[in-house]
Amino acid sequence: MSAASSPAGFTVSSAWLAEHLDDPGMSVVDASWYLPAQKRDARAEYEAGHIPRAVFFDHDLVVEPGSSLPHTLPKPEVFATHAGSMGIATDDTIVVYDGPGLFSAPRAWWMFRVMGARKVYVLEGGIDGWKAEGRFVTAKPTKVAACLFEVDFAEDRVATLAKMRDVVADATSQIADARPPGRFAGTEPEPRAGVRSGHMPGAKSVPAMALSVGGKLLPTDRLRAAFEAAGIDLDRPVITSCGSGITAAVVTLALESLGHRDNRLYDGSWTQWGGLPDTPVVTGKD
């Protein structure tokens, strides 16, 4: 089967997806996930109405079994089992979406890419935008034919706790923190019990929600300006971080869209760092 034609960049419009929805080799993934404060049930919304062909990607299930952290990247073989059970192959054209457009979908986009898929895209505007445009959704279960997902794990795109300790100690990479400014500064509490407020020494605040409008990435010039205003040098390595590894991928998506390739995502993110007793934490805007 021939794959769907590949668009430029890492995002696709609803019009593009609607046109290519029936292409051979197309996989559509609902990767919606919400914080408790958002009061949305991702799976219930999927079951009530999703984009045709979409399968549900559960961020709380596609994780490393037994991890004490909420969204630990699974081992390659574990991810391959999940992806294959969803009927997704490595060489498929994979379009991932969430509710508002750029919240949790980039995390699944990053996971598929770090596990070896190359034609992975995020749907601009999410399913909220899809519905607002009057496009068709269905509650009919998607028929899935399990397949083999062949992993080619890019381990160098994942930052571990040990790596972050070295980075903080030696400032070998820049750290872009995607959490809201109040949590970064330590003026607002973390949503998870036992996790300190503040940020890693040397980290820069790059709120994920400031990189998009209407569920779409900002235009290139505004994206570049946002990173520069945050103190991020796009000619140097960057490690992205957030609360649990979800919205850090929004920053990763923005970096990649600007052509920045020397980046990693800190998978444990602030839940790991702020939950340990011996990691340095600072407060304030800088």
- Where exactly are the structural domains of the chain? 11-153, 156-273
Half-sphere exposure for 4 (CA within 13 Å, toward CB)? 25
pLDDT (0 to 100) of residue 8: 73
Phi and psi, residue 207, nearest 5°: -55, 130
Altogether, the residues listed in the chain come to a count of 286
User: What average pLDDT does the segment 69-95 reach?
Assistant: 97
pLDDT (0 to 100) of residue 4: 55
pLDDT band at 2 (very low <50, low <70, confident <90, very high): very low
Catalytic residue among 242, 249, 255, 265: 242
Each residue's pLDDT tens digit, 20-47 = 999 999 999 999 999 888 899 999 999 9
User: What average pLDDT does the segment 40-58 reach?
Assistant: 97
**What is the β-pairing status of strands 174-177 and 204-205?**
parallel
- Smallest CA-to-CA distance from 131 within 98, 84, 95 is with 98
Q: Give the chain's mean pLDDT.
A: 95
**Is it the case that residue 1 has pLDDT exceeding 80?**
no
Please tell me whether the overall predicted TM-score, pTM, comes out greater than 0.85 for this model. yes
Amino acid letter for position 79: F
pLDDT band at 53 (very low <50, low <70, confident <90, very high): very high
Each residue's pLDDT tens digit, 99-129 = 999 999 999 999 999 999 999 999 999 999 9
Each residue's pLDDT tens digit, 228-269 = 999 999 999 999 999 999 999 999 999 999 999 999 999 999
User: What average pLDDT does the segment 129-154 reach?
Assistant: 97
| Domain 11-153 matches domain 156-273 at the CATH topology level | yes
**Is it the case that residue 3 has pLDDT exceeding 60?**
no
Choose the CATH number for 156-273 among 3.40.250.10, 3.40.50.170, 3.10.450.630, 3.40.50.1400.
3.40.250.10
User: What average pLDDT does the segment 61-74 reach?
Assistant: 95
Query: Could you give the CA distance from residue 55 to residue 57 in angstroms, rounded to a whole number?
Result: 7
242 is catalytic: yes
Task: State which fold the 11-153 domain adopts.
Answer: Oxidized Rhodanese; domain 1 (3.40.250)
